[in-house]
Structure 1
Amino acid sequence: MRKNKGRHTMVKRLFWGVLLVTLIFCSLGWVYRSNWMAGSIELELAQTGVIEHSEAVKAVFANEEYLIQAPVSGKVELLGKDGQRFRRGENVALIHPEGAAPGTISKELAAKVNAPMGGLFFQKVDGLESTVTPQSLLEMDLAKIVEQKENSQAQSDIVQAGVPMGKMVNNLIPTEAFVELNPSADLSVGKTIKLNLNGQVQSAKIMRKSDDPQGIVVRFNQYLDGTVNSRIQDVKWISRPPISGIVIPKSALITKGEELGVYVVQKGIFQYRKVKVLDENDTLICVENLPSGIPVVKNPRAGIEGLSANVKIPS
């Protein structure tokens, strides 16, 4: 009887020992799993922002420009700053005879260059002044116009007679442009679109559609600064109105059945939150049901709900 009792005690101790070891390993495994999963999680704060819908396109700008030919050869003395407005007939520059520096001879010997029209004077010319014009964009063969290449001439103080030394630009009439994009059905003549030029959103009315080359001719509401010295620019076409709200990374969105949601960190725990998507682009989504500033999991995965969020919270 004693022998059987001792054997029973040993089995009992062995059982509890194995059970204890199993519990320890399970606990360590759970801690390791939790730390490993949480450690590989990336967070980003939900913030108030704007979802924009824009497409990068190329624009060729046209203004009413008039070339000024140098009446004589010599050294140019500008009488104003580049882009300054002059009235018709005002002196925009003096040309001193070759070999003589400004100030070394009488001003009366210098040839006066007058503004042939009221407008802004620019010294830089690109060879497209008479080709890319508001009128040509509306009436001429766009394929031939767009294929023209800029031939910018280096600005120099020395000019030869008969060579363009600058130009006048009429800034009292609106700038026009050919915009290279797919002229879909909703881009009809007379419709107003918006373009982002160097951070400034400008409205423009569609004046003409073209299938070859693909694009539209638009007229802005006014003359646009920066479209003379940079005739060809990359701009952004705003294809849809922007939506503002709580913005988070698109990668944070997960699907549970027919429900959309995200994982957030609240009270130190990963928690699931159902959301409603208001708008999206390639990288961001705008959602309802989230407060601004709450940490959101950028790279969600199954099994993290309820785990301790042992990760650095972004500030």
Structure 2
Amino acid sequence: MVYSSPRIRQRRAALRRRKQRILLSLIVLGCTAFLIWGAIGWGRSFLIKKSVKTTVVSTGLLQQTVPVDAIVLTAEELVIANVSGLFHPVAVEGQRIRKGEIIGKLVSSEVAMSRTETVVVAPCTGLVSFQLDGLEGFLTREKWEQLDLGQLVESKGNHSVQLGNWIEAGKPLARIVDNLANTNLGLELLVQDLPLELKDGQIKAGDTLWLKLLDVEENKVKVVSAQRDASRIRIIVELPKFREDMLYRRQVPVELITQRWTGFVLPREALVFRQEGPGVYILRKGWTKWKSVEVVGELNNEVVLTGLNEGEIVVLNPSLVREGLRLH
């Protein structure tokens, strides 16, 4: 047995304790690093799951439109005073009357002894209106192609023929609007505003178009006539019915629907492109899965897709996920 002095034994014991402390420190450091790495991974996964946006898809519609101020082309006939006199209406505003029915009387004087009364009858059947704007007879189907739209700006403005108004002979006192004829609209389209399909194609009589009326309704309309030059297209379209709400309007805002796509409408950034083509990440039992789709339409930052099922959950920001990631 080799003899060791007390000092040497103390040094060896101190060295062993030092090695033990270093080993323990390394173990603690490793465990701490592992916990930190795990916490970072868990936190990153948690943040990703919280940041991922999804949507439940359903069939929708995407449309491309061109705004137009349409001209209401009315089938109307003026009622002209045959003699001068004070007008006393019998019919009320908006009343439907038949041809030959009395709409009012022209009284030559308020003095009972010397006055004469002339009956005013309807020249045709329709809705009677005493609201006149000076454009009667101008905004018709027959005059549309040669119509100067500046006449709308230069019109004299609305005025109403009321009880007791003095009407000179030869002046209009009412108009009769044919409410049995479907309402017609005149549209002037600038070629530069149209999509390529309509620029190169030919809009012709008999075609059908879609219009969005008054920012609300969509109507399938029939093209009655079309006239085209290098810079513009003038068309007349016929609505499915007479629109009484346009009785007092000469212009209405419409949107010509130039393209329509039906499918699943999603933002373009939801697409994930692979060699197989475009696709999206869907959630299946909480796991992300890439699914192939077909892009059938695109407008601005939206796309219309087929290949999905109603009610499937699609990831909207796929850059945050990968195939096989569990989100739920």
Q: 1:53-72 to 2 correspondence within 5 Å? A: 53-69=64-80
Deviations, residues 115-149 of structure 1 (Å, cap 9, x unaligned): 112222233233222222211114x2x4x245532
Structure 1 pair 157–31 and aligned structure 2 pair: CA distance change class (3 A): farther
Question: Which residue does the alignment assign to 2:316?
Answer: 298
Give the drift of 1:3: 4.4
Instruction: Tell me what 1:231 maps to.
Output: 250
- State the TM-score, normalized to the length of structure 2: 0.74
The one of 274, 278, 288 aligned to 2:296: 278
Query: Within 5 A, what are the aligned runs for 1:171-250?
Result: 171-173=179-181, 175-183=183-191, 184-190=199-205, 192-198=207-213, 199-205=217-223, 207-211=225-229, 214-220=232-238, 224-225=242-243, 226-240=245-259, 242-250=260-268
Aligned residues: 299
Question: Residues 234 and 254 of structure 1: is their aligned pair in 2 closer, same or farther, counting only changes over 3 Å?
Answer: farther
Does the alignment pair 1:17 with 2:23? Answer: no
Which one of the candidate residues 23, 26, 31 is aligned to 2:42? 31
Range that drifts further, 153-162 or 289-298: 153-162
Deviation at 1:29, TM superposition (A): 1.7
Which residue of 2 is the match for residue 170 of structure 1?
178
Structure showing greater Rg: 2
Q: Distance in 2 between matches of 1:109 and 1:266?
A: 88
Taking only the aligned residue pairs, the percentage that are identical comes to: 20
Unaligned runs of 5+ in 2: 1-11, 192-198
The answer as to whether partners of 1:175 and 1:224 remain within 8 angstroms in 2 is yes
Which of 57, 77, 84 aligns to 1:46? It is 57
Structure 1 letter corresponding to 2:102: N
Asked if structure 2 preserves the Cα contact closer than 8 Å seen for 1:269 and 1:308, the reply is yes
Change (3 A) 1:97 1:22: farther
In structure 1, what is the Cα distance between the partners aligned to 2:16 and 2:316?
60
Q: RMSD value over aligned CA atoms?
A: 3.5
Q: TM-score, normalised by structure 1?
A: 0.77
The structure whose RCO (Cα within 8 Å, separation 6+) is larger is: 1
Question: C-alpha distance in 1, partners of 2:31/2:127?
Answer: 89
1:7/1:93 CA distance change after superposition, 3 Å: farther
State the match for 2:195 in structure 1.
none
Inter-partner Cα distance in structure 1 for 2:250 and 2:203: 25
Unpaired segments ≥5 residues, structure 1:
100-104, 311-315
Alignment CA distance shift 1:43-1:303 (3 Å): closer
Q: Distance in 2 between matches of 1:213 and 1:73?
A: 50
